[in-house]
Structure 1
Amino acid sequence: MRTALSLLAVLLAVGVGMRVYPHSLLNALLAGAVIYLAIEVVALRRRIERLERTTTAIARDDHPEATHGTPLVRDPGEPTADKSFSRQAAAAEEHPRAAPEGKPPPPSPDQVPVRGLLAGLTAPVVTFFTSGNPVLKIGLVVLFFGVAFLLKYAAQRTLIPIELRLAGVALGGLILLAAGWRLRHSRRNYGLGLEGGGIGVLYLVVFAAAKLYHLLPLPLALTVMISLVGLSCALAVLQEARGLAVSGSIGGFLAPVLMSTDSGSHVLLFSYYALLNSSILGIAWFKAWRELNLIGFTFTFAIATLWGASAYTPDHFATTEPFLILFFLMYCLIAVLFAHRQPLRLRGFIDGPLVFGLPIVASGLQAYLVHDFRYGMALSALMLGGWYVGLSWLLWRQLAEGMRLLTEAFLALGVVFASLAIPLGLGPNWTAAAWALEGAAMVWIGSRQDRPLARLFGLLLQIGAAVSFVDGLVLPADSGLLVNWAFLGSALLASAALFSSFWLDRYRDQASPWELPLPPLLLAWGLSWWYGGGYRDLDHHLEGQTLPPAFLLYAGLTTLCLGGLAHRFSWQRMVTGLLVLLPIMLFTLIAQVMGWNAGSLLAGCGWLAWPLAFTVLYGLLARFEEQLPPRSLPWGHSLGLWLLMAVLAIELAWRVDRMAGIAEVWSLACWGGVPMVVLFALEFHGDRLTWPVARCAATYHGIATDVPLLALLLWTLASFTASGDPDPLPFLPLLNPLELVELAILLLALLRTLRPTTSSLFGERGLIATAALLFIWLNVAVGRCVHWYAHVPYRFDALFSSPILQAAVAALWSVLALTLTILGARKAYRRVWLTGAGLLCLTVIKLFVIDLSGTGTIGRIVSFLVVGLLMLIIGFFAPLPPKPEELPR
């Protein structure tokens, strides 16, 4: 429920941002990021409250005397209650979802249904005003605004001298501060509230005296503010007063906003905020107060963004850039201190919104500041990446114990920004790549810390990055091949998706139901961006004959690299994704044969692309044989073999066709001859190859060779239309290249059907079909002989009308009938004898239907004589074999 409402809120914020800034997708998505951070703060605040209630319940169970007033008598050797409580509290901090025995565990914040987004966002405010001393808190807020309005009213009407007014307000603040300090022991909460209110009033007085009335010189005002900052830090740390630090910081950040006249110096404003942030940094040195860190981060960068949008000009760069760098460094160190100051068992726990939100906001502001500088953002990203890499190295060397997660996060950010320097230097569209990689980082941290909302927001960032990238995708004509921002942006989007898919796969045991389909979708999304971006860039720079093999080379190298990553990280899903090389090889082959390149497959870089592709494919099938899905292995081997035979046949046929002085039939024979040779080798010598043929014998003696053999039979049927001109060689019956290839294919099919391990495709029906095709081939061979020696045109109508062909066919049929009947009679093959007898009957029918119309010609006469004599021989030497049941037993 919370995830759905959070998604709705983020989308609503993006929509409102697009409404307000219709020409800036960056601002719209920034609005969504702010909403996400707000929801995350609410969720974490509720988690902290439940953790405190859990530890309180544990303490109550361990100290029943605190409830019933009965002291316990303990054995001297028994551990004290304080130690027991500390151990249980530490366990509760490490496992906040655990509950005391016998009580139901408190629900996780991620599992608690949120009744409404408004209720979730206002929960911290309601808690603040309804817990502790609500009257005091509300009174301090009212007093704070009242003092601010009083100062403004008095300034406008000059009723009392300004010095007296400011002195009176300052005296009131000091009284509140002193009273709070006096009550710090007897009424702790009340006293801390007074202290916070007093410090806030003093902030207002000093800022008003320096900025509005110029009563204090700026150096003195800064000194006083530094003193107030130090005082608030000291009071908060000494009294363990997180609320004092929070209220004092809020008052300090709101002071310049309430007293603003839109005419002040931004240098003074940012200097003042630098002091406030230095106090937060000082507190972070001693305490891990997350609320204080987030309040300072939000106020600082929100007000800086508002000022930049309304008042920044390029002339302010020299006085603005140092403050941005200073604020960035401060909160980067605060994030380190927060992770370092966690309890021992939670050491290294990182604040996701601060660790990953800081570079998002800071890089966005930096891009606005340096947009007029050439390579400004590229250099900024390079330095930012260097900072994060150096910081991760320092943490690893100095604080390796328990800080691995933060070190990995900083290292990831360093690699991200260092890699962004390349596309930023080559093009202005940096937002999409930055957000995609930041989204991947959010998915990573969400997976490591089991935070579904962070993972969801990371995915939304990547979708927004893709939309932004496509919206501004215009590639200059003079861009370099694979070194332009359009390709590199696609590559970074792909990397982010693949990185997200990997981490969601690794932590799939903790995934929500809606996340289960995401890893394969992200894998497909990432590969689509990678291959699509590469193809688009190659298409922009290459054309015609060089494009398909160049893309195949790109795909082969990609598969080689991804295969290494899949092996290194044991990524099962990526292993399956590597098989995308097969359809790319098929696409390339079709493109080269039918599309852009009706020429050599090895043209351009094809001489390298095709051998590399086949090497990578069979290396993939061999290396990942155990990891690939069982159903994909037969198809992988089969498609690889089919493509190999097709490439060899097409390339050899093309080269033979370009040879001068030879007939076209030689090229035609190559189309069938090359696959025929490969199939013969696999049929009779393939098992000598331990891998892949012997290892996958069922495949290589089944579907992998059945389909090409069936295709060769169809090719044989189609090749009957060729006359078989073997120029420059003379035509010899059955010894010309075309008929030799046809005969070899038919013999291979017959042998395949007669083998005991034959597949179902070439069973008994296959034997009948192959025998029929062999009969047709003999008739075609006779027709070619008549064409070449009797000079009859090689057309069906001309040959059919030739009496020489009719006589030759009648003789052929009679000889075949004689052979079959004798063989059937000698071996008692009744079906073979019946086949021969049927062919003989067909011959007789042909004589009386066709040949009888030309009884005066020599051809017809010869036909009748030969058939008649053969029938007599058959009747004498080959009588009908008996039926099986008639055979003697």
Structure 2
Amino acid sequence: MEFLLIPLCLVMLVVLFSLKNIVRAEFKRLDNQLWQLRQEITSWKKEQVPVESKPVSVAPDSPPIAPVQPEPTTAPEPFEEPVAIPVPVEPEPTPVQRDYWKSGFEVVGETEKEEEVSAEVAFSPVQHEVQAPKPGFFDRHPDLEKFIGENLVSKIGIAILVMAIAYFVKFAIDNNWIGPVGRVAIGVLCAGVLIGIGHYLRRSYHAFSSVIVGGGIAVLYFTIALAYQQFHLFPQSIAFIIMLVITVFAVILSLLYDRQELAVIGLVGGFAAPFLVSNNSGNFRALFTYLSLLNAGLLLIAYRKNWRLLNLLAFVFTVLLFGGWLATAPATLSTKDYMAGFWFAILFHIIFFAANVAYNIRRNQSFVAADFSMILSNAALFFTAGLILLHRMQAEHLQGLFTIAMAVIYCLLSFIFFRNRKVEANIIFLLIGLTVSFISLTAPIQLKGNHITLFWATEAVLLYWVHVRSRMPLFRYTTALVWGAMMISLMIDWEAGAGLLTGLYAGITTFALFYLVRDREQRLIGYIVEIAGLLIFYISGILEIDRRIDAAAGQQSLMMYEMAYTVCFSGLLFLLRNYIRIFQVQKYLLASIIAFTLFYFFLLTSNVFHVQAEILQAGKSLVPFLWYWLAGAVVALMIAWFSRMVYNNDPLLLPLGDAAPWLLVFCSVLLLSIAGHLLVNQIFFSPTHSLSDLQRIYLKSGLPILWGGCSFVLMWQGMRKKWKTLRIISLSLFTLTLIKLFVFDIRNISVAGKIAAFFCLGVLLLVVSFMYQRLKKIIIEDEEKPSV
């Protein structure tokens, strides 16, 4: 045993000798720094002397008679008095407390940009300390040689020393020189020596002493673990208590030395202690109770020190331990066991949230990105663990309640912080964002099917209304996210065959959002929301028609229903926009919708004749055909509105130019031609008059008569309205009718058809010529309406 003391004494002598050299070098460095400081103070005093001796800055407002009769004896007095009199230090201005904090959310009649700026100012009446960006490694250590010699070498040296002690003890144990008690005593003695040396050097060598003390604490942890696991010198409870005492001792030293490294070592040892003294019993309640006490001690440290690394390590270790238990929990665990785990998860969530906000609120400091990340991670992991535990407890019906409870908790926290004027606005915005997120997650977790869409549609409107009332941009962004989620959910509902009411409700809420947005956002955003609302209404109706119409009705009939719905939808928009004025649809948007409707209506004309043939020949239902006539009436109403715009030279038609009247006449004549053909088929169809015969007669005889009548009406209106363009269109239509009649229709036509066509056209042309003769003066003076 005496032989072992010789190497130990040698080791201690080597340590003390190295410390002596380090102390000497440190004293030399301090002397150099003091000398440099004295030189800087001396140079600074020399620079300040000329400034104080200038008389110009003392009495700039002296009367003009003063330089005429100066008194040499009292001349220096005016220069000395201002220097001798101490300048009164004004108290720091108290931050202006705005009424925003008293009255809550108010609506101010300003522009949106001014409102958002005022909201940001109102949320931060207290000036927080702005933390400068952390310097880099080479900024903190410009002298790399000094860093290696004073910092890195000491850490490596203590690590090697600990390894040397460990190898020596192992060698002695392998040769049976030391018994179990002696082995433990040597470890404790070495740890005590290291801690004592570090404590002795704490004032002169702050960083070096912390490294030595940390090494001593690490030796203590491993010594006690070896005494329990290998030698069984004391029971588990005693070993656990000793390690807990070591952890508390390390934390106290870290606070006394103000060194985060010691706290980290104590924390790592504290989390390792349960495993170092474990007997594999699987008692998770004891483990989580110990972790709760350890994290509660961390909370006390976090209240006094801004040691983010300590918070991060504790959070990571706790998540790993709790997540490991949750992932490897045996199937034999009961609901009661999972409930206990749920309560421990709540406790951990509260502790880590408080640990991440305590110091900043206490010292009125700004939160940084690491704080926000910790708060978000804490909320997300706790929420995930809660859902898993509820699932394993077979309580899935409570997951929605758990989610809304999370939203309520963060809402209360945001309100409490809002009332506390020391809290900056960013953390309040973060808590409000978490509140909104959990409210939004309640729908997909608790509800099923289209109820999610209904929930998100309502939430989007409420969030933007809160943005309008509170002037906080956060709600504006969350509105966009929730509304986008609602649109995705609505598409899923459409794919699943949801009912018409879901689409109608989504469209109504989207238009409600448009009414809130249109005067407060950019015009493009208003257009997007408006178009989206119209598309929701239209697609919902189309899908409902596809779902309701029986497939046996045929594809042609289904297209008739869809065409009729499209036309009626556009007509309803036109009616609500121009007469009832419920929906303030933009004029350009309405014109585009009507143009598309007319094109779609005329494009599906061929399907109308197929449906009519099936009705007349096969005796199918007349309902699709009636829907077409309703659509035709709506199209006629649109054409009438179009003609009014053309006559009034509406600025909306400026891109069309002179083509607008021609386009109007083309649509009108085409609609009348189709309607006349359908009426002829419906009235004169019989077994003796087939549809092909009726079509041939109508195209060769009826159509020229119809076009001639249209030309006559156009001529009459052009003369009546003094509109030259309309008269030119009438003459063009007359010319087209005559060319068609004499080139194509004169062949293979009955005598009665020829007589009717020629008679009607001849009479119309004579009447037109007579009208030109009687109204010659109007034509010559050319007082027609200016063309578009």
Aligned to 2:414: 392
Aligned with residue 352 of structure 1, among 369, 372, 385? 372
Q: Cα–Cα, structure 1 residues 406 and 527, in superposed 2: closer, same or farther, change >3 Å?
A: closer
Q: Aligned partners of 2:707 and 2:294: how far apart in 1?
A: 90
Deviations 1:187-218 (A, max 9, x none): 11111222223333334445555677665556
Q: Encode CA deviations 1:131-173: one digit per residue, 9 max, x unaligned.
A: 9611222344456677789999999999754444333323322
In structure 2, C-alpha distance between the alignment counterparts of 1:153 and 1:387, rounded to whole Å: 58
| 2:74 aligned residue | none
* C-alpha separation in 1, matches of 2:731 and 2:329: 89
Q: Secondary structure at the match of 1:401?
A: coil
Are residues 1:334 and 2:365 paired? no
What whole-Å deviation, never above 9, does each CA across 1:76-96 have from its counterpart, x for those lacking one?
85899xx9xxxxxx9996273
Say whether 1:362 aligns with 2:362.
Answer: no
- Percent identity over the alignment is 21
2:640 aligned residue? 680
Out of 407, 413, 417, the residue aligned to residue 438 of structure 2 is: 417
SS of the aligned residue for 2:450 comes to coil
The answer to whether the 8 Å contact 1:136/1:190 transfers is: yes
Partner in structure 1 of residue 152 of structure 2: 134
For 2:264, the equivalent position in structure 1 comes to: 246
| CA distance in structure 1 between the partners assigned to 2:278 and 2:657 by the alignment | 85
- Following the alignment from structure 1 to structure 2, what is the Cα–Cα distance between the partners of residues 422 and 805? 70
1:4 corresponding residue in structure 2: none
**CA deviation string 1:461-499 (max 9, x = no partner):** xxxxxxxxxxxxxxxxxxx65236xx689989999x999
1:256 positional shift: 5.2
Answer yes or no: is the 8 Å Cα contact 1:339–1:406 preserved in 2: no
Partner residue of 1:811 out of 725, 735, 759: 759
| Corresponding position of 2:308 | 290
Alignment deviations for residues 111-133 of structure 1 (CA, whole Å, 9 cap, x no partner): xxxxxxxx99xx9xx99995961
Which residue is equivalent to 2:450? 482
TM-fit CA distance, 1:238: 3.3
Is 800-809 or 326-335 further displaced after alignment?
A: 800-809
| Number of aligned residues | 618
Q: Separation in 2 of the partners of 1:154 and 1:640?
A: 98
The correspondence of residues 55-454 of structure 1 with structure 2, limited to 5 A, is 70=43, 72=45, 94=130, 96=132, 133-141=151-159, 160-206=178-224, 215-216=233-234, 221=239, 223-254=241-272, 265-310=283-328, 313=331, 315=333, 317=338, 320-341=341-362, 344=365, 346=366, 351-376=371-396, 377-397=399-419, 399-425=420-446
**3-state SS of paired residue (2:407):** helix
- RMSD over equivalenced CA pairs, Å: 6.3
For residues 156 and 564 of structure 1, the distance between their equivalents in structure 2, rounded to whole angstroms, comes to 85
Aligned to 2:504: 553
How far off is 1:675 after superposition? 2.9
The offset of 1:351, in angstroms, is 0.9
- Matched AA of 1:185: R
> CA contact under 8 A between 1:491 and 1:533: conserved in structure 2?
no
Q: In 1, distance between residues paired with 2:509 and 2:377?
A: 32
For the residue of structure 1 that corresponds to 2:406, the secondary structure is helix
1:419 Cα deviation after fit: 4.2
Q: Which amino acid aligns with 2:130?
A: E
CA contact (8 A) 1:321 1:369 kept: yes
Query: Are the aligned partners of 2:545 and 2:561 in contact in 1 as well (CA < 8 Å)?
Result: no
Q: Where does residue 534 of structure 1 map in the other structure?
A: 490
**What letter corresponds to residue 394 of structure 2 in structure 1?**
R
CA deviations 1:758-791 (Å, max 9, x no partner) are 99xx8898555555577799x89xxxxxxxxxxx
Aligned residue for 2:533? 581
Distance 1:701 1:767 in 2: 19
Report the CA distance shift for 1:423/1:677 in structure 2 as closer, same or farther (over 3 A).
closer
Cα distance, 1:186 vs. partner?
A: 1.0
Cα separation, 1, equivalents of 2:572 and 2:186? 84
- TM-score norm. by structure 1 comes to 0.54
The 3 A distance-change label for structure 1 pair 319 and 668 is closer
Residue identity in the other structure for 1:815: V
Higher relative contact order (CA 8 A, sep 6+): 2
What is the distance in 1 between the residues matched to 2:405 and 2:213?
42
Q: Deviations over 1:558-609 (max 9, x none)?
A: 4124325636974766423211234445545665778864589999xx99x9
Q: Mean alpha-carbon deviation: is it higher for 150-159 or for 269-278? A: 150-159
The answer as to whether partners of 1:328 and 1:358 remain within 8 angstroms in 2 is yes
Change (3 A) 1:188 1:163: same
Q: Please give the alpha-carbon distance, in whole angstroms, between the structure 1 residues aligned to 2:464 and 2:752.
A: 72
Contact in 1 for aligned 2:503/2:540 (Cα 8 Å): yes
State how far apart, in whole Å, the 2-side matches of 1:267 and 1:639 are.
67
Corresponding residue to 2:593 among 639, 648, 655? 639
Task: Kindly indicate whether the alpha-carbon contact (under 8 Å) linking 1:382 and 1:417 is maintained by their aligned counterparts in 2.
Answer: yes
- Helix, strand or coil: the match of 2:392? coil
- 1:274, 1:218 → 2: CA distance? 19
Q: What corresponds to 2:98 in structure 1?
A: none
Compared CA separation, residues 229 and 664, structure 1 to 2 (3 A): closer
TM-score, structure 2 normalization: 0.60
1:855 match: none
Q: Residue 390 of structure 1: SS of its match in structure 2?
A: helix
Q: Is the 8 A contact 1:385 1:413 kept in 2?
A: yes
What residue identity is the alignment partner of 1:362? F
CA 1:414–1:821 in structure 2 vs 1: closer, same or farther (change >3 Å)? closer
1:179 deviates by: 2.0
Which string of whole-angstrom CA distances, capped at 9 and with x for unpartnered residues, describes residues 542-570 of structure 1?
5xxxx5x4464144224124325636974
Tell me the amino acid that sits aligned with residue 445 of structure 2. Answer: L
| CA 215–622 in structure 1, closer or farther in 2 if over 3 Å, else same | farther
Structure 1: runs of 5 or more not aligned: 1-59, 84-89, 98-105, 110-118, 427-479, 509-518, 781-795, 833-880, 882-889
What whole-Å deviation, never above 9, does each CA across 1:263-317 have from its counterpart, x for those lacking one? 6654454444334323321111112221221122122212433444345555253
| Equivalent AA in structure 1 for residue 490 of structure 2 | G
User: Aligned ranges for residues 670-709 of structure 1 at < 5 Å?
Assistant: 670-680=630-640, 683=643
Q: Is the 8 A contact 2:194 2:212 kept in 1?
A: yes
Any conservation in 2 of the 1:665–1:724 contact (CA below 8 Å)?
A: no
The Cα offsets for residues 367-426 of structure 1, whole Å up to 9 and x where unpaired, read as 4444322235445434433332332233223x2433332223223223433443443345
Contact in 1 for aligned 2:407/2:438 (Cα 8 Å): yes
**Are the aligned partners of 1:753 and 1:764 in contact in 2 as well (CA < 8 Å)?**
yes
Between the aligned partners of 1:585 and 1:708, the Cα distance in structure 2 is: 29
Distance in structure 1 (CA, Å) of the matches to 2:517 and 2:745? 63
**2 CA distance for matches of 1:251 and 1:758?**
98
- Are the counterparts in 2 of residues 290 and 338 from structure 1 also a CA contact under 8 Å? no
Contact 1:331–1:358 under 8 Å retained in 2 = yes
Residues 11-69 of structure 1 show CA distances to partners (whole Å, capped at 9, x for unaligned) of xxxxxxxxxxxxxxxxxxxxxxxxxxxxxxxxxxxxxxxxxxxxxxxxx9xx9867687
Q: Does the C-alpha gap of structure 1 residues 322 and 554 become closer, same or farther in structure 2, counting only changes over 3 Å?
A: closer
Aligned AA for 1:361?
L
Change (3 A) 1:527 1:267: closer
Q: 1:827 to 1:577 in 2, by over 3 A?
A: closer
Seen in structure 2, the aligned counterparts of structure 1 residues 665 and 742 have a Cα distance that, compared at 3 Å, is farther
